Amino acid sequence: MKVLGIETSCDESGIALYDSEKGLLADALYSQIEMHTEYGGVVPELASRDHIQRVLPLINQVLEQAGLQRSDIDAIAYTKGPGLIGALMVGASIGRSMAWALGIPAVGVHHMEGHLLAPMLEDNSPEFPFLALLVSGGHTQLVRVDGIGQYQLLGESIDDAAGEAFDKVASMLELGYPGGPKISMLAEKGTEGRFKFPRPMCDRPGLDFSFSGLKTFTLNTVAKCREAGQFDDQDRADVALAFEEAVVGTLAFKCRRALRETGLKQLVIAGGVSANKRLRVQLEAMAKKEGGSLRYARPEFCTDNGAMIAYAGCQRLLAGEAEELTVAPQPRWNMEELAAV
Ligand code: KG4
Ligand code: ZN
């Protein structure tokens, strides 16, 4: 089955073709980052308008890459939610209309399920059951995964998501948007041990996270440096390093606790923040020490992309899932409500 995947939940138009027998055939991405940079974050209305312009040319591009015609597509998977309503509407309307015109089924995919299953696109893919850490711009969740659609939420952030904290701290350091990769790069020049930031919620039981206090702590540190008369590039790098270490340390601490509590051995990380090098290295070492292993997707499939939507949609379509013709995006959507396949 050849599935066209359409991702338009935020600021990236991601399109891909996935074949249930041959694997990924083609994928293309248009990132709107440059357009949103001057505003310091995503402007929803601009995002929707840009998706309208990008999606059809990208579909033509992946078809050409794969040497296929529209008539070769067997089904369409589009991101149904969660995300920005206007942006979701674009992918849903195009996906649904195209499926109707071609006389093929279409299915709306949960964006976080897409992220969660992205490591399945790699060699040495994860095997059920496993523990998943979902870390994106909008979510920080620990999930027990027993199969596709069999998700048990074990813990999540009670305030900011990890990616959101990266973005806000990047803005404090005047690094621009999106912050994750920029903080990471700057942290490489940081002085080890100059600042020690707290590891939020690690002194309490449970598997929830909180990153808002860490953000305030960072803001106060920056303010103190400025009051002392200077905040130069080295200070910025030192703060970036301390912040990244604190986020990564906290995530690793909670993942280890979750592995021990569930008895699971395999840890999967997914979502934009899972592209973070320090996080990968630290979690890999931790998982090994616990007698387990770590799995993740290539960096471009950690952040938003069409391949993960095509893959997740394909699994649901193969299991016989089908939807009515209505276009009904869900900007807020709990992953535990999904049907098991
Ligand atoms: O999954 P994603 O592309 O979009 C959402 O579904 O939210 O995640 C985007 C988030 C942003 O907050 C971005 O700063 C963060 O992922 N991110 C990173 C890195 N690459 C992207 N955070 C830390 N380190 C990175 N290398
Ligand atoms: Zn995402």
Tens digit of each residue's pLDDT (9 = 90 or more) over 214-256: 999 999 999 999 998 889 999 999 999 999 999 999 999 999 9
Residues in the chain: 341
Q: What is the pairing mode between strands 150-156 and 140-147?
A: antiparallel
Can you give the pLDDT at residue 31?
A: 97
Can you give the pLDDT at residue 128?
A: 98
Can you give the pLDDT at residue 324?
A: 76
Pocket test for ligand 1, best of 115, 135, 164, 166 (most atoms within 8 A of CB): 166
Judge if the beta carbon of residue 299 lies within 6 A of ligand 1.
Answer: no
Distance of CA 210 from the midpoint of ligand 2 (Å): 19
Atom of ligand 1 nearest to the CA of 12: 3
Atom of ligand 1 nearest to the CA of 166: 14
Judge if the beta carbon of residue 50 lies within 6 A of ligand 1.
Answer: no
Can you give the pLDDT at residue 317?
A: 96
Could you give the CA distance from residue 202 to residue 48 in angstroms, rounded to a whole number? Answer: 39
Tokens of 190: 């940081």
Can you give the pLDDT at residue 257?
A: 98
| Tens digits of residue pLDDT in 117-132 | 999 999 999 999 999 9
Q: What are the φ/ψ torsions at residue 311 (nearest 5 degrees)?
A: -65, -50
Q: Whose CA is nearest to atom 14 of ligand 1?
A: 180
Q: What angle do CA 287, 188, 223 make, to 5 degrees?
A: 110
Sign of CA dihedral 46, 157, 315, 295: positive
Please list the helix, strand and coil fractions of the chain in percent, rounded to the nearest 5, in that order: 50, 20, 35
Max Cα–Cα distance, the chain, nearest Å: 67
Judge if the beta carbon of residue 181 lies within 6 A of ligand 1.
Answer: yes
Q: Which ligand is the nearest neighbour of the Cα of 109? A: 2
Judge if the beta carbon of residue 305 lies within 6 A of ligand 1.
Answer: no
Can you give the pLDDT at residue 328?
A: 84
Judge if the beta carbon of residue 14 lies within 6 A of ligand 1.
Answer: no
Sign of CA dihedral 262, 200, 115, 152: positive
Tokens of 81: 């939610």
Judge if the beta carbon of residue 160 lies within 6 A of ligand 1.
Answer: no
Which residue blocks in the chain are alpha helix, DSSP H?
A: 33-37, 44-66, 85-102, 111-117, 162-172, 179-187, 212-227, 233-262, 277-289, 299-302, 306-318
Distance of CA 260 from the midpoint of ligand 1 (Å): 27
Which residue ranges of the chain lie beneath pLDDT 70? none
Judge if the beta carbon of residue 166 lies within 6 A of ligand 1.
Answer: yes
